[in-house]
Amino acid sequence: MSEATAQHSHDEADSHHVAATNTGIPNKKLAMWAFLASDCMFFGTLISTHLIYRRVNPDVVIDGNVVPVTSIFDIELTSASTFILLMSSLTMALTVSAMHKHNVKAARWFLLSTIFFGSLFIGAQVYEFNHFVHNEAHPLTLTNTIFGSTFYVLTGTHGVHVLIGLIWLTTWYFYSFSPKFNEENVMDIEVTGLYWHFVDIVWILIFPLVYILEYI
């Protein structure tokens, strides 16, 4: 795949309405990347909080007992959600690819699969939270340990990002049937895709740093 091809496809999508920009990058895309750079700091702060508190409080004490975190976690489930989110990233990339080809029908199917995988991920997270909170032996709640606080706030913020992404994608799905849906929206969907992939890479970091680390 050559640079030239790639360049071309983008020009194609933008050339109709968007005025030429100095950088050659469409405004919305540039703004989204700037937002993602900023979002790195958001998650950086949250991840710091979690890691620091994990470091200064090596023992997770629930009801007076030191509880190994591995006995709370359910690594099979979390691995499964990790695969699910990765898959959603693939389908998102394929959605954008189809949009570039102006193949709206295919794009819609890929979009629907992305929404499906995303919902599955959220479902798994809801199940996981529920499971942890109602764990008979040692319930992990938002308030009973500092580990619980940092864990739920970090993964919860990620979950909220996924949820926003889902709403956004669903909106596109329905909008794609509107007569107003046109070639300008190719770029819009690409921008939504960037957001979605970012949510995925944040999970790529959360998975080892929050989950797998506990098993080492």
Partner 1 sequence: MANGTTTTIPHDSGHDAEHDKPQRSFFRLVQRPQQGCHPVIDWLTTVDHKKIGIMYGAFALLFLLVGGVEALMIRAQLFLPENDFVTARLYNQLFTMHGTTMIFLAVMPLNAAFFNYMMILQIGARDVAFPRLNAFSLWSFVAGAVLINLSWFWEAFHGGWFGYAPLSTKDYNPGMGADFWILSLQILGVASLAASFNFITTILNMRAPGLKMMRMPVFTWMTLITSFLIILAFPAITIALVELMFDRHFGTHFFDATFGGKPILWQHLFWIFGHPEVYILILPAMGIVSEVLPTFSRKPLFGYPLIVMSGAFIGFLGFAVWSHHMFTVGLGVVATTAFSLMTMLIAIPTGVKIFNWIGTLWGGKIHFTTPMLYSLGFIWMFMMGGFTGIMHSSVPVDHQQQDSYFVVAHFHYVLIGGALFALFSGIYYWMPKMSGKLMNETWGKISFWIMFFGFNLAFFPMHLLGMAGMPRRTHTYLGDMGWNEWNMWSTAGAMILGVGIGSAVVQVVYTWAKGKKCGMDPWDARTLEWATANPPKDYNFARIPEINARDQVWANKYGKPEEKSGPGEPEPHGIHMPDRSWYPMSASFGLFMVGLGMVFHKQNFLGWDHTLEMVYIGGGILLLSIYLWALEGPRGYHVHPEED
Partner 2 sequence: MSETTRKPNFSPASKKTIEGESTRFFTFFNVILTLIGLTFLELILIILPFHEYVLLTGLIVLSIIKFGLVIWYFMHLRWDQIFLTALFMLGLILASGTVAALYLLFPAGESAANKEAPAAQSGAH
* 163 near partner 2, judged by CB under 8 A: no
Choose the contact partner of 149 out of partner 2, partner 1, none; CB within 5 to 8 A by kind.
partner 1
* 112 near partner 2, judged by CB under 8 A: no
Site residues (CB under 8 A) for partner 1, limited to 120-139: none
Q: What is the DSSP letter of 211?
A: I
In contact, 95 and 107? CB cutoff 8 Å: yes
* 68 near partner 2, judged by CB under 8 A: no
**Least spacing, CB of residue 211 vs partner 2, in Å:** 9
Stretch that binds partner 2, among 112-120, 131-139, 154-162, 173-181 (CB under 8 A): 173-181
# residues contacting partner 1 (CB under 8 A): 35
Q: Which two structure tokens, joined as six digits, stand for 209?
A: 């740093």
Q: Which two structure tokens, joined as six digits, stand for 168?
A: 């956004």
Report the residue from 74, 128, 183, 188 that binds partner 2 according to the rule CB under 8 A.
183
- Please state, as a whole number, how many other Cβ atoms lie within 10 Å of the Cβ of residue 209: 15
- Please state, as a whole number, how many other Cβ atoms lie within 10 Å of the Cβ of residue 82: 21
Q: What is the DSSP letter of 138?
A: S
Rounded to 5°, angle at Cα 85 from 136 and 152: 40
Choose the contact partner of 112 out of partner 1, partner 2, none; CB within 5 to 8 A by kind.
none
Instruction: Give the list of residues 6+ apart from residue 25 with CB closer than 8 angstroms, or none.
Output: none
Report the residue from 18, 57, 71, 127 that binds partner 2 according to the rule CB under 8 A.
57
63 or 134: CB nearest partner 2: 63
* 86 near partner 2, judged by CB under 8 A: yes
How far apart CA 17 and CA 163 sit, in angstroms, is 31
Residues in the chain: 216
The whole-angstrom distance between residue 96's C-alpha and the CA centroid of its chain comes to 16
Binding site for partner 1 (CB under 8 A): 16-17, 21-23, 25, 27, 30-31, 34-35, 37-39, 41-42, 44-46, 49, 52-53, 56-57, 142-143, 145-146, 149-150, 153, 171, 179-180, 182
